[in-house]
Chains A and B, each alone.
Chain A
């Protein structure tokens, strides 16, 4: 990891901790605190989980158990520049597999709840695009 990346992470960590600090130190703030960290860092490194555990005064093991139970909380950093293809029922019907096959470096993601705009893709900033063809997907990835 370069120094620059490290400093960005530290800055994000600082955003995360100040988000957590703004919350009351109660157990019912566990999920809001995890989400504050997740929003700042895009994932939850061990340090972030410890910080939350300490803030809401819940044992680390319990916080870890809770964190792993939520599918949207990432325990690994996201792959930079990765696009996702929704694989909900409607998107599968509309050809999600074809998009995954034809565009490299794409991953599956569970239903994004834009079923009426299938197939749906999602960029690394979680912006959604609906009714996407292979050509449009390729253009967006390359732009």
Chain B
């Protein structure tokens, strides 16, 4: 990825040199710290004495099952040491000193896709640039905005937040409106239980999101960008803001590094909880200081969005993924947040290439698919996929926002269904009657579902057709799915 850099990018790389190797990356961040990773950071620094500079703090690389973990980066290879204990740091140090044993090959995604650098950089600009950071922006700047939009369209690029709307089509809607200031809202609210991809992206490779924002800005021409981050993701916000400051200091954000004037103002905002806050129009209200409830549509955000201006709302993953659009062939991948009854839960970037099935995902996560009775895709708005459907080929559309929970054979799926119904009831914002009353009624009906089949079917229809936003609109989905897939469980 370092080839064909323009003179400005080459200059940036000179100004921000790559880190020295070998080095030890200790995977901290929210996930690593929850498993005590900072202790190993300290122990390794003490053990290496005057070479302690080579032990650096990195974020999670997505392999949560391996935490606490450290990766040794030697010249041409890496090796991850998993589930560290104090005894195990001797092996880490031996590998740092050149003896990595037989398992020297790093089993990561390796150099491509949007997780290529995830957790495998120390957060400095030099490290990110050395690993291909800002080369997609560099490439984009050699084309006109129209050519860039064509390239995104030709790659068949769709949004990664769940709806999978074509990105180029959405961007063109705003780009066409040249008389009013255009707004970009980056949705990193990620309030869906079971989804943790945006936190990983912001903590583990924040410059990729900045690069994606600048590519979007070059294509559309925004006045302002708002990055709306989940209120609990404080570490992610802090790391992102640091990266933003570095990008500004290096004149990347202003465009001056490329002798351009981007003129984009960026604001970082935190949410304060609530599943409904991931809904696009709720985010707009929240940013404006209104009550966080959905808006009626139309007007759509591309016409009258933030502060009444044409607004593009993209998921953080979408903008990170856009940086891979020039990779040949463009890898259609999706981040999957996998949890539940599997030996290796964590964040996976999986190819959506017409060959990947649920079985392949489960095998990747170290489980025998026969031990899994069902998976839930999309949390409280999602559907159940039963064991006999595991051979189905994965499509972007079937993956939603990428939250997948696996249930072993002992799980009571009817109980899970009731929990999902209760969750939707608690999280309903109360703005519209179908959702406010409907989700409450659903919980009551699910006490004795066999006696209320017809009422439940009617209620699902009311929720789906009558709700103001997708929280209510999709609240009936897991119930319908449960009744279709395992009616005898109730």
Contact = CB atoms under 8 A, between A and B. Distances in A.
Given A27-B288, A93-B341, A71 B272 contact: yes
Nearest to A131: B35
A113 B270 contact: no
B374 interface: no
A109 B274 CA distance: 12
B290 A115 contact: no
B272 A115 contact: no
A89 B347 contact: no
A70 B272 CA distance: 5
Contacts of A115: 193-194, 196, 337, 339-340, 345, 405
Interface string A83-123: 00000111011000000000000000011111111101000
Interface string B36-77: 000000000000000000000000000011010000000000
Nearest to B276: A69
Interface string B260-302: 0000000001111110010000000011111111000000000
A24 to B, nearest CB: 11
A89 B376 contact: yes
B334 interface: no
A119 to B, nearest CB: 11
26 contacts: A28-B288, A28-B289, A31-B270, A31-B271, A31-B286, A32-B269, A38-B272, A69-B292, A70-B271, A71-B427, A73-B273, A89-B340, A89-B416, A89-B419, A90-B345, A92-B419, A93-B405, A93-B407, A113-B195, A113-B196, A113-B233, A114-B64, A115-B337, A115-B340, A128-B34, A131-B35
A113 B231 CA distance: 12
Interface of B: 30-31, 33-35, 64-65, 67, 190, 193-196, 199, 230-233, 269-274, 277, 286-293, 307, 337-341, 345-347, 376, 379, 405, 407, 411, 416, 419-420, 427, 429
Contact of B340 (A65, A66, A93, A131): A93
A60 interface: no
Given A89-B340, A89-B405, A112 B293 contact: no
Contact of B337 (A71, A93, A112, A116): A116
Contacts of A130: 31, 34-35, 64, 67
A95 to B, nearest CB: 12
B274 A70 contact: yes
B84 to A, nearest CB: 13
B194 A111 contact: yes
Interface in A40-72: 56, 58, 62, 65-66, 69-72
Contacts of A131: 35
A20 interface: no
A89 B338 CA distance: 12
A91 to B, nearest CB: 9
Contacts of A88: 193-194
Given A70-B273, A72-B272, A117 B67 contact: yes
Contacts of A29: 289
Given A69-B293, A70-B273, A112-B232, 16 more contacts: A31-B289, A69-B292, A70-B271, A71-B272, A89-B376, A89-B419, A92-B419, A93-B341, A114-B31, A114-B196, A115-B196, A115-B339, A115-B340, A116-B196, A127-B33, A131-B35
B30 A114 contact: yes
Contact of A72 (B190, B193, B231, B290): B231
A69 B30 CA distance: 26
A127 to B, nearest CB: 8
Contacts of B194: 88-90, 111, 115
A13 interface: no
Most A Cβ at <10 Å: residue of B274, B291, B405: B291
B155 to A, nearest CB: 30
A44 to B, nearest CB: 11
Nearest to A71: B273
Contacts of B341: 93
